[in-house]
Structure 1
Amino acid sequence: MTMTNHSPENHDRVNLSAAEPAIALGALDGRYRSTIAPLVDHLSEAALNRNRIHVEVEWFIHLCQSQVLPGLPELSDEQVAGLRGIVESFGSEEIAELGAIEAETVHDVKAVEYFIVRRLEGLGLAELAPLVHFACTSEDINNLAYAVGIRDAVQQVWLPAAEQMLQRLQGLAAEAAETPMLSRTHGQPATPTTLGKEIAVFVHRLSRQVSRVQAQEFLGKINGATGTYAAHRCAAPDADWPVIAREFVEKLGLTFNPLTTQIESHDFQAELYADIARFNRILHGLCVDIWSYISIGFFKQIPVAGATGSSTMPHKVNPIRFENAEANLEISNALLDTLGATLVESRWQRDLTDSSGQRNIGTALGHSVLALSNVTKGLKQLDVAADVIAADLDANWEVLGEAIQTVMRAEAIAGVEGMENSYERLKELTRGRRVDAEKLKEFVSGLGLSPAAEERLKNLTPDTYTGLASELAKQFS
């Protein structure tokens, strides 16, 4: 028995789904629309249809230029420009027209074919209507349209956002390259480093992933219903269809996939999404670390004029940029991982699971772009609290125990007597207790070190025990 909810609190509510203008269901198309808007031009449904038209038009032109069929005319420059103008003029009216055609065809790619055919008469090409979508299965058009959209979204939107964030991160690493900082391994005081070096680690890791994304190939195919050029061969048996297909795919700025089923195998997408997801995970780690440094006072957040940190506690400036980024990186990766896992599989020569899956590519990249925007803004609002970092170092002189026992080992190798059990002796002195500068210097004086080694250790302080940290920070920032 079906129950209907007639609760009083819901009965008289306005139906928001009917509101004009339309109210977004998802955050990316609502609250965060302005941040991710550039992706709409590449990965929205309208962009997919525009790219389908682009592929169909270019295939039409390519077939004419290749003269693969008897009777094909040479297109004039005006006709070529007119055909490409179908793509360039694709706007709101054309989107509505295409939608109306699809409502009749109940097939998105067939609607694109009819949309183009309608425009051929005005170009003096009505007799070439059969050449639109010639020897193509829908997936010939779809895989190329998606590849073009994904390529442009990554190269024109995601990569610039990642590079902008990295530029700011590099600046922070350079700024703090010589700022000594107590390390914490397993959450415990450990060998000092510099703040800049720890930031530079993330710069280096993230840059490697960006390089992988920059080198990504975007594959495409146009070989028919099951990847055999069967229809092509029947229509034009003397044409070298694999060569014609390769030339066409490469004209689109893509890499040719020479062997497929009905679908392009989507392996390149899985590779790309794995690299972006790995970038996201590294960036998530940066957000957690920055958040933690803020919480212990190593960073001050520069207040934004007029902004509210807490609705009830006026003193607070919450690290919301990094928290927001964490959540969006997690959502992005959930989608990217799913896409990477599912798109590489297809039942026999074709099934439609990838069709629904690929419509979420924009959402997956959108959450990553939103996270990048938040991290970039968050980094701009950080100020290094050098005094807090210095006080933390000065309260942990026991971290010099590593240096002392290591110098004692070197002295033992050089033949200096009395250097045995160096680790155990420092453990007895330092483990589980605070050791101040005076006690450490007293300990060093009684070891019997060579004069040079003793002088070196007596001059050592937590803020100078940073090894090559500042040099490494400068090298990789």
Structure 2
Amino acid sequence: MEKQEFESFTLCPLDGRYSKIKDALGEYFSEYALVKYRVFVEIQWLKFLIENVECDVLSRFDLQDLPKIESITKEFNYDSFKRIKEIESVTRHDVKAVEYFIDEKVKAFGFDYLQSFVHIGCTSEDINNTSYACMIKYGLKEVWLPKAKEFANIINQWAMDHKDDAMLAHTHGQPATPTTIGKEFKVYAYRFMSSIENIENIQIKAKFNGATGNYSAILTAFPHLDWQVLAKKFVEEYLGLTFNPLTTQIESHDYTCHILDGIRHFNNVLVDFDVDMWLYISMEYFKQIPVKGEVGSSTMPHKVNPIRFENSEANVDMSNNICIALSNKLPKSRMQRDLSDSSSQRNLGLAFGYSLQAINETKDGLEKCVVNKEKLASDLNEKWEVLAEPIQTMLRKYGIPDAYDTLKELTRGKNISKEDIMKFSESLEMLSDIDRQTLIDMTPASYIGLANLLADIHLK
């Protein structure tokens, strides 16, 4: 079958229509990646034992030959993956297939005596939980976090670029106290960055303590060694993860759930932004730049649809639903171990992938938008009634008890003109000349409080 034919039969859009996501994440969340990290963990464990455990068998190994052992990881490629899968077709056990593959490699180097130390003291979950931890760690570090940070910085730049662009705000969908484009974007930039910070602060944990988490097998073979200390050293210094000291056969997956919940929160902020942009575009506060050759509607030639923001919403839903499913499933395991998490974890890449696609869609949508300053000014100039708020507040300063009701009577449900506001402001003889003039000079476009300054707040 030709490559093009094969691609037309993909089941998941991340493998087909959105294949750039697959290319970005495949190194970290594919079946190939899982097998690669299993090999990495097994080799690191063998290296750890050679460097930290004294026994007659291991003492035969010359430390100068460690690069040969490490090359099994460094030279891992598709042929390595294929060979492991061939072994697995016989063993029907994926982790055991990795062990046998390493046995073959060690033997080929002439280190037959090391074969018995490959996977010694381990249960499959020692290898799996550390492998998935590495996948999540580097998938976050190398792909998702950089993309999320890039997007947050784009939003922050919009905030600074448009800090002085006054806009009629809308609360409950109704005209409200004016703001600026920049300040509203700054709110999102802050939310995105806070969400990213929360995810970065989550410790990616791993365990390496045997079949039911008690070090029983390795302690039997080496009873005089402190395996709690050694396991912590292995997990943290050789794998770069955070040690979990108390587990059953499995690492509890709690940190994974925290990360998934963090991604889901970022996604929810993103879809909140998508919806706002969709509404602002419908109100013509933003114009979409037509791209030559693009079609907005198959029947209405004039249309430029906000499809990128809509696509982002759809991909957020996919990512969030997978995050929720995994967060609900992974913390639960019957007694000391069941395998229901095995199939679930293989979908981690989808949670990350659909989130990345959502970010890409929103970013692409934003690149086609420009602020429609004429429409912003026009809407502000039609809503002089929003100045009822500062006027009644000024009257309260002077002890006027019915200030709110007075302005309510003047403005509520009415189309108020500039002249109406100026006439009322000029009639307020109880105010000082300065305060009265402040109200007379005020316009909806100037009534933005500290919005432009808030848009300038420095974010990490």
Same fold (TM > 0.5)? yes
1:239 aligns with 2:225: yes
The residue number in structure 2 matching 1:464 is 446
Which amino acid letter does the alignment assign opposite residue 436 of structure 1? Answer: S
Which amino acid letter does the alignment assign opposite residue 316 of structure 2? Answer: L
Q: Measured at CA, do residues 18 and 163 of structure 1 come closer, stay the same or move farther in structure 2, by a change above 3 Å?
A: closer
Residue 19 of structure 1: how far off its partner (Å): 5.5
1:431 aligns with 2:422: no
Q: Measured at CA, do residues 241 and 266 of structure 1 come closer, stay the same or move farther in structure 2, by a change above 3 Å?
A: same
1:123 aligns with 2:116: no
Whether the aligned pair in 1 keeps the contact of 2:7 and 2:16 (CA below 8 Å) is no
Once the two structures are superposed, residues 429-466 of structure 1 have per-residue CA deviations (whole angstroms, 9 ceiling, x without a partner) of 00001111101111112222221111000000000000
Residue 167 of structure 1: how far off its partner (Å): 1.4
Match of 1:401 among 359, 364, 388: 388
Q: C-alpha distance in 1, partners of 2:315/2:306?
A: 15
Match of 2:308 among 307, 318, 321: 321
Which amino acid letter does the alignment assign opposite residue 287 of structure 1? Answer: D
Once the two structures are superposed, residues 152-182 of structure 1 have per-residue CA deviations (whole angstroms, 9 ceiling, x without a partner) of 0011100011011111111111111110000
Match of 2:19 among 25, 28, 33: 33
3-state SS of 1:119 partner? helix
The residue number in structure 1 matching 2:424 is 443
The residue number in structure 2 matching 1:452 is 434
1:422 aligns with 2:403: yes
Gapped runs of 5+ residues in structure 1?
A: 1-14, 413-418
Whether the aligned pair in 2 keeps the contact of 1:51 and 1:145 (CA below 8 Å) is yes
Map 1:295-310; keep pairs closer than 5 Å: 295-310=282-297
TM-score (normalizing by structure 2): 0.96
Q: Measured at CA, do residues 390 and 22 of structure 1 come closer, stay the same or move farther in structure 2, by a change above 3 Å?
A: closer
Map 1:32-181; keep pairs closer than 5 Å: 32-73=18-59, 75-76=61-62, 79-181=65-167
Residue 73 of structure 1: how far off its partner (Å): 2.5
Q: C-alpha distance in 1, partners of 2:26/2:397?
A: 62
3-state SS of 1:278 partner? helix
Whether the aligned pair in 1 keeps the contact of 2:57 and 2:113 (CA below 8 Å) is no
Match of 2:350 among 363, 374, 381: 363
Residue 239 of structure 1: how far off its partner (Å): 1.0
Whether the aligned pair in 2 keeps the contact of 1:220 and 1:255 (CA below 8 Å) is yes
Once the two structures are superposed, residues 399-433 of structure 1 have per-residue CA deviations (whole angstroms, 9 ceiling, x without a partner) of 00000000000122xxxxxx331100100000001
3-state SS of 1:222 partner? coil
Instruction: State the percentage of identical aligned residues.
Output: 43
Whether the aligned pair in 2 keeps the contact of 1:179 and 1:194 (CA below 8 Å) is yes
The residue number in structure 1 matching 2:378 is 391
Which amino acid letter does the alignment assign opposite residue 377 of structure 1? Answer: D
Residue 122 of structure 1: how far off its partner (Å): 2.4
Whether the aligned pair in 1 keeps the contact of 2:179 and 2:451 (CA below 8 Å) is yes
Whether the aligned pair in 2 keeps the contact of 1:79 and 1:123 (CA below 8 Å) is no
Which amino acid letter does the alignment assign opposite residue 51 of structure 1? Answer: Y
Residue 389 of structure 1: how far off its partner (Å): 0.7
Residue 472 of structure 1: how far off its partner (Å): 0.2
Q: C-alpha distance in 2, partners of 1:75/1:389?
A: 75
Map 1:249-268; keep pairs closer than 5 Å: 249-250=235-236, 251-268=238-255
Q: Measured at CA, do residues 107 and 18 of structure 1 come closer, stay the same or move farther in structure 2, by a change above 3 Å?
A: farther
Residue 41 of structure 1: how far off its partner (Å): 0.1
3-state SS of 1:71 partner? helix
Match of 1:205 among 185, 191, 212: 191
Whether the aligned pair in 1 keeps the contact of 2:169 and 2:178 (CA below 8 Å) is yes
Q: C-alpha distance in 1, partners of 2:47/2:112?
A: 14
Residue 357 of structure 1: how far off its partner (Å): 0.8
TM-score (normalizing by structure 1): 0.93
Residue 88 of structure 1: how far off its partner (Å): 2.0
Residue 22 of structure 1: how far off its partner (Å): 7.5
Which amino acid letter does the alignment assign opposite residue 466 of structure 1? Answer: I
Whether the aligned pair in 2 keeps the contact of 1:173 and 1:197 (CA below 8 Å) is yes
1:291 aligns with 2:278: yes
Equivalences, count: 457
Q: Measured at CA, do residues 253 and 228 of structure 1 come closer, stay the same or move farther in structure 2, by a change above 3 Å?
A: same
Of 442-451 and 466-475, more deviation after overlay is shown by: 442-451
3-state SS of 1:190 partner? strand
Q: C-alpha distance in 2, partners of 1:168/1:308?
A: 26
Gapped runs of 5+ residues in structure 2?
A: none
Ranges of 4+ aligned residues in structure 1 off by more than 6 Å: 15-18
The residue number in structure 1 matching 2:267 is 280
The residue number in structure 2 matching 1:221 is 207
Q: C-alpha distance in 1, partners of 2:398/2:196?
A: 45
Residue 74 of structure 1: how far off its partner (Å): 6.0
Whether the aligned pair in 2 keeps the contact of 1:168 and 1:379 (CA below 8 Å) is no
The residue number in structure 1 matching 2:457 is 475
Whether the aligned pair in 2 keeps the contact of 1:64 and 1:74 (CA below 8 Å) is no
Q: C-alpha distance in 1, partners of 2:344/2:6?
A: 29
Q: C-alpha distance in 2, partners of 1:336/1:16?
A: 34
Residue 46 of structure 1: how far off its partner (Å): 0.6
CA RMSD in angstroms comes to: 1.7
Q: Measured at CA, do residues 476 and 189 of structure 1 come closer, stay the same or move farther in structure 2, by a change above 3 Å?
A: farther
Residue 35 of structure 1: how far off its partner (Å): 3.2
3-state SS of 1:118 partner? helix
Of 128-137 and 22-31, more deviation after overlay is shown by: 22-31
Residue 17 of structure 1: how far off its partner (Å): 13
Whether the aligned pair in 2 keeps the contact of 1:68 and 1:236 (CA below 8 Å) is no
Which amino acid letter does the alignment assign opposite residue 418 of structure 2? Answer: A
3-state SS of 2:415 partner? coil
Whether the aligned pair in 1 keeps the contact of 2:57 and 2:114 (CA below 8 Å) is no
Q: C-alpha distance in 2, partners of 1:462/1:75?
A: 80
The residue number in structure 2 matching 1:196 is 182
Whether the aligned pair in 2 keeps the contact of 1:209 and 1:275 (CA below 8 Å) is yes
Residue 71 of structure 1: how far off its partner (Å): 2.7
Which amino acid letter does the alignment assign opposite residue 28 of structure 1? Answer: L
3-state SS of 2:176 partner? strand
